[in-house]
Structure 1
Amino acid sequence: MTIRVLVVDDNPVVREALRGVLDLSDDVRVVGEAGNGRDALALALRHRPDVTLLDHRMPIADGLSIVDELARHTAVLALTSDATPGVIASMLRGGARGYLVHGHFDPPDLLRAVHAVAAGQGWLSPVAASVATSALREQGSRRAARDRFGLTDRERDVLDLLCDGLSNAAIADRLRLTEKTVKNHLYNIFAKLQVGSRTEAVVRWSTGTFDS
Structure 2
Amino acid sequence: MLVVDDNPIVRGALLGILAGDPGVEILAEAANGREGLHAARRLRPTVTLLDHRMPIADGLSVIGTLAQYTSVLVMTSDDDPQLISDMLRQGARGYLVHGEFEPPELLRAVHAVASGRGWLSPIAASVAASMLRDQHQARARHAARPRFGLTDREEDVMTLLCQGLSNASIAHRLRLTEKTVKNHLNHVFAKLGVRSRTEAVIRWTSQLG
Q: Structure 1 length normalisation: TM-score? A: 0.69
Who is 2:89 aligned against?
93
Decide whether the 8 Å contact of 2:170 with 2:181 is kept in 1: no
Between the two proteins, the alignment pairs up a number of residues equal to: 184
Matched, 1:74 2:74: no
- When residues 23 and 171 of structure 1 are mapped into structure 2, their CA distance, relative to the original with a 3 A threshold, is same
Q: In structure 2, what is the equivalent of residue 42 of structure 1?
A: 38
Residue matched to 1:28: 24
**Which ranges of structure 1 fall in alignment gaps of 5 or more residues?**
173-177, 195-212
| Cα distance in 1, alignment partners of residues 41 and 98 from structure 2 | 27
Find 1:123's aligned residue among 115, 119, 123: 119
Q: Provide the residue aligned with 1:154 in structure 2.
A: 153
Q: Contact (CA 8 Å) 2:94, 2:119: kept in 1 or not?
A: yes
Question: For the structure 1 residues 142 and 45, does the alpha-carbon distance in structure 2 shift closer, same or farther, using more than 3 Å as the test?
Answer: closer
**Structure 1 residue 185: deviation in Å?**
4.6
**Runs of 4+ residues over 6 Å off in structure 1:** 142-148, 186-190
> Are the structure 2 counterparts of residues 136 and 193 from structure 1 closer, same or farther at C-alpha, using a change threshold of 3 Å?
farther
**CA, structure 1 residues 181+136, in 2 after alignment: closer, same or farther (shift >3 Å)?**
same
Give the drift of 1:131.
Answer: 3.0
- Distance change in 2, residues 1:24/1:94 (3 Å): same
- 1: distance between equivalents of 2:132 and 2:94? 17
Q: Which amino acid aligns with 1:23?
A: A
Aligned to 1:175: none
Q: Quote the sequence identity (%).
A: 60
Distance 1:141 1:10 in 2: 39
Residue equivalent to 1:198: none
Residues 45 and 135 (structure 1), Cα distance of their counterparts in 2 relative to 1, 3 Å cut: closer
Instruction: Quickly say closer, same or farther: Cα 1:45–1:153, change in 2 above 3 A.
Output: same
Residue correspondence of structure 1 range 1-212 to structure 2 within 5 A = 5-137=1-133, 153-155=152-154, 171-172=175-176, 178-185=177-184, 191=197, 192-193=200-201
| 1:62 Cα offset (Å) | 2.0
Distance in 2 (CA, whole Å) between partners of 1:39 and 1:59 is 11
| 1:133-181 deviation line (CA, Å, top 9, x unaligned) | 2454466567778998x78532565687x89x8975x923xxxxx5422
For residues 30-78 of structure 1, what are the alpha-carbon distances to aligned partners after superposition, in whole Å with 9 as ceiling and x for unaligned? 2211122111110111222110011222222222222121111111111
> Structure 2-normalised TM-score?
0.70
- From the superposition, tell whether residues 155 and 38 of structure 1 become closer, same or farther in structure 2 (CA, over 3 Å): farther
